[in-house]
């Protein structure tokens, strides 16, 4: 049976195989946009790509990350906040309804995710149910042992510092007796585990080196001896000055080409190339 349009992994061994074998790429929004569904994006919440990235990649330098992504994938495939970020890339994962975002910025927190809004509701529902079940079991355990907290109803707590310290102390005792932590409960749902595996697969592939002449490097490593993956066809190419002077011209040109292709950008490009008069390369530099 398909679950949310996706076949769940049968075993942990299958998850490991997917992580090892997966090769990420740019998300092709023109061909792979999920129909009329609205998308939602975040950097944390029910999923935490940055936390996963710490375990998979270690410390990430934003300058090397940009050099790697540009060399491997070419120009960014997604817009971003020009004030807060240098650029943004959206990469595919093994899950058809989950994409990894990499935001190049010196302030940190570079990783996020995108998913269809309706699908995110299912993820949040599983997340909420897992936490509610854990808190119910935790409360039962405390009451059986007569262990109080500063307000069993956390919404009534006024001193959050005191509550947090007490909660962590009692939770540690709960875990010491063989129970799961609240963080483990949050990750316990089968859908959450599948999505974490999908994100980890894409992150692992960012260890794959790309080459510049005889030097290979990855998102976080340099001078790698492993065989590199192919680099972008954009390598060595430039953008005409007229387009660089006016970023909005690229948007207007894209719309015009799509109109020529009756809604299909690629068809519009082919039609213009086929019908436009030939010109010297030097004439196209303005």
Instruction: Give residue-wise pLDDT tens across range 10-39.
Output: 555 555 555 567 999 999 987 787 676 789
Query: Residue 157 falls within a domain, yes or no?
Result: no
Domain that holds residue 228: 1-148+187-237
Question: Does 251 lie in the same domain as 139?
Answer: no
In contact, 78 and 101? CB cutoff 8 Å: yes
Query: Residue 169 falls within a domain, yes or no?
Result: no
Question: Does 81 lie in the same domain as 43?
Answer: yes
Question: Does 261 lie in the same domain as 143?
Answer: no
Question: Does 256 lie in the same domain as 220?
Answer: no
pLDDT exceeds cutoff 60 at 284? no
Domain count within the chain: 2
The residue ranking higher by pLDDT, 147 or 205, is 205
Query: Residue 211 falls within a domain, yes or no?
Result: yes
pLDDT exceeds cutoff 70 at 264? yes
| Range 43-66 average pLDDT | 93
Query: Residue 100 falls within a domain, yes or no?
Result: yes
> Model pTM?
0.81
């Amino acid at each position: 049976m398909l679950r949310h349009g996706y076949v769940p992994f049968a075993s942990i061994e299958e998850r490991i195989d997917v992580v090892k074998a997966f090769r990420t790429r740019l998300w092709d929004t023109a061909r792979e946009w999920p129909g009329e569904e609205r998308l939602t994006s975040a950097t944390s919440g029910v999923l935490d790509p940055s936390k996963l990235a710490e375990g998979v990649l270690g410390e990430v330098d934003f300058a090397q990350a940009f050099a790697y992504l540009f060399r491997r994938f070419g120009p960014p495939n997604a817009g971003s906040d020009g004030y807060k970020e240098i650029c943004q890339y959206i990469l595919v994962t093994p899950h058809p309804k989950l994409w990894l975002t990499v935001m190049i910025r010196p302030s940190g927190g570079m990783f996020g995710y995108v998913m269809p809004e309706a699908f995110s509701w299912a993820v949040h529902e599983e997340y909420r149910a897992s936490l509610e079940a854990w808190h119910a079991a935790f409360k039962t355990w405390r009451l059986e042992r007569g262990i109080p907290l500063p307000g069993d109803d956390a919404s009534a707590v006024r001193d959050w510092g005191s509550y947090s310290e007490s909660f962590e102390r009692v939770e540690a005792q709960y875990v010491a007796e063989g129970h799961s932590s609240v963080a483990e409960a949050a990750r316990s749902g089968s859908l959450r585990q599948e999505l974490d595996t999908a994100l980890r697969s894409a992150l692992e592939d960012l260890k794959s080196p790309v080459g510049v002449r005889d030097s290979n490097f990855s998102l976080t490593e340099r001078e790698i001896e492993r065989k590199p993956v192919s680099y972008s066809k954009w390598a060595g190419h430039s953008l005409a000055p007229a387009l660089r002077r006016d970023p909005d011209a690229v948007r207007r040109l894209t719309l015009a080409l799509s109109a020529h292709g009756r809604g299909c950008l690629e068809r519009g490009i082919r039609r213009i190339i086929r019908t436009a008069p030939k010109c010297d390369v030097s004439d196209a530099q303005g």
